[in-house]
Amino acid sequence: MFSIPLGPDGARLCPLEPWHAEEFLAHLDRGREFIGQYISLPDQATDLDSSRALLRAYADKAATDTGAIYGIWIGDTLVGGVLFRRMDLKHGVVEVGCWLEPAGTGKGLATTAARTIIDWAVEIRGVHRVEWQAKTANQASIEVARRLGMTREGVLREAMLHRGKRWDLEVWSVLAPEWRARQAG
């Protein structure tokens, strides 16, 4: 298994696999309400079986080149992650997302981890377009998109149903030539 250093506190990025289900569940339990205010991940993994099933679904996506999930660890503690929610390699489009529990915030980990997987998608897999979607209320996620040099394309009004409420989603993206230019600069 690979491990990529992310900088502060010995943080690292590693694949998040079904055998991590216990740690994944413990991580979600520590940050369930914080993480769950904007994304559905904590609502999908509520016990060990559903945690393992979610990670297995992403392992299946990785095996079919349709998605992938990676954990962000500080020491031996999982504090967040990044993912390819969807990958359409035929058309050269991926959607990237992230999450952190409170212990992982304020360290630049989400931005650094997202930059790592975007760079891999563009440079190794030949992706042309990287998308990012965030609830308009999720300013932390929107700031990550900005720091990554993405362009805000617009708002999908009431496009997401989360915990019984409809939310507007901001759509951000970066194209491969823009990404390369920013990385070179």
Per-residue pLDDT at 8 exceeds 80: no
User: Hey, where are the domains in the chain?
Assistant: 4-184
How far does CA 143 lie from the centroid of its chain?
A: 14
pLDDT for the residue numbered 63: 97
Averaged pLDDT, 17-21:
97
Per-residue pLDDT at 37 exceeds 80: yes
Averaged pLDDT, 145-166:
96
Averaged pLDDT, 108-121:
97
Q: How far is Cα 129 from Cα 122, in angstroms, rounded to an integer?
A: 8
Q: Mean pLDDT for the chain? A: 96
pLDDT for the residue numbered 185: 82
Q: How far is Cα 76 from Cα 22, in angstroms, rounded to an integer?
A: 13
Q: Who contacts 101 (Cβ-Cβ below 8 Å, separation ≥6)? A: 27, 28, 30, 31, 34, 35, 79, 80
**pLDDT band at 2; cut points 50, 70, 90:** confident
Q: How far is Cα 119 from Cα 36, in angstroms, rounded to an integer?
A: 27
Per-residue pLDDT at 1 exceeds 80: no
Averaged pLDDT, 157-177:
96
Per-residue pLDDT at 126 exceeds 90: yes
Q: Name the CATH topology of 4-184.
A: Aminopeptidase (3.40.630)
Q: How far is Cα 59 from Cα 56, in angstroms, rounded to an integer?
A: 5
Per-residue pLDDT of 48-107, as tens digits, reads 999 999 999 999 999 999 999 999 999 999 999 999 999 999 999 999 999 999 999 999
